[in-house]
Amino acid sequence: MKQSVKRTFLEKLNRQRGISHVELMIAVALVMVVTATALPDVSKMRGHNKVMDARQQLLMDFNFAQNTAVRNYRRIVICPSDNQQTCNGGNSWQNGWIIFQDFDANNQRNGGESVLKFSQLNANVTVTSGVDNHFHFYPDGSAPDSTGSLLMCIDGEPEMGHRVMVFDDGRVRSEDYSCS
């Protein structure tokens, strides 16, 4: 008896050589439903990662500027720049920023003041400051009269913003920010 049940099962198994069209259509439909529900989350995650990359770049550069001021005992300025050589005087940091030693304390790069670093964002993130078109650090690491913040936003994702803040004592902090 067991022999015949085993043989019947094996015969059915041998006759089935693939999947039917109905089974294939059900599998494709399931994959499409799962993909459709996951795509918005992936898109939001990519936007969040772009903002976090911009935040990380800004934090690293502010730390570099502050550490350089302390290490070299010089006044260091970080400002937005369109040409990698001079401050643009505006509040858009979109095209990048420069970090330089400011010997004459005028917050503008002059002939004898070399650019220590130029940075530019690769991400599609808008970076703006309020009224602050530069930040400066003194040899003791403080940033008096340089208190302000930079806002990072992605078009179409206003809830995914981030803000980097600079305080008088030189602390640099970041937090989530709604760009709407």
Output DSSP code: residue 168: T
CATH of the domain at 83: 3.55.40.10
Residue bearing tokens 């420069």: 98
Q: What average pLDDT is seen over the chain?
A: 82
Query: Cα(134)–Cα(132) distance, rounded to whole angstroms?
Result: 6
Instruction: Decide which of 160 and 12 is more confident.
Output: 160
What is the model's pLDDT at position 153? 81
Q: With beta carbons less than 8 A apart as the criterion, state whether 146 and 72 touch.
A: no
Q: Is residue 28 part of a domain?
A: no
| pLDDT tens track for 63-85 | 999 999 999 999 999 998 888 88
* Residue 13 neighbours by CB under 8 Å, 6+ apart: none
What is the model's pLDDT at position 46? 73
Residue 121 domain boundaries = 49-177
Q: Is residue 35 part of a domain?
A: no
Q: Is residue 74 part of a domain?
A: yes
* Residue 51 neighbours by CB under 8 Å, 6+ apart: 123, 125, 152, 153, 154, 160, 161, 162
Q: Is residue 73 part of a domain?
A: yes
Which stretches within the chain are classed as H helix? 2-15, 21-72
What is the model's pLDDT at position 93? 84
Q: Is residue 15 part of a domain?
A: no
How far from each other are the two terminal CA atoms of the chain, in whole angstroms? 75
Q: Is residue 143 part of a domain?
A: yes
What is the model's pLDDT at position 137? 94
| Mean pLDDT confidence for 7-29 | 74
Q: Is residue 146 part of a domain?
A: yes
| pLDDT tens track for 147-180 | 888 888 877 677 778 888 899 999 999 888 887 7
What is the model's pLDDT at position 138? 94
Report whether pLDDT(1) > 60.
Answer: no
pLDDT band at 134 (very low <50, low <70, confident <90, very high): confident
| pLDDT tens track for 98-122 | 999 998 888 888 888 889 999 987 6
Say how many domains are in the chain: 1
Which DSSP string corresponds to 58-77? HHHHHHHHHHHHHHHTS-EE
Q: Is residue 41 part of a domain?
A: no
- Report the percent of the chain where pLDDT is more than 90: 23
Q: With beta carbons less than 8 A apart as the criterion, state whether 102 and 65 touch.
A: no
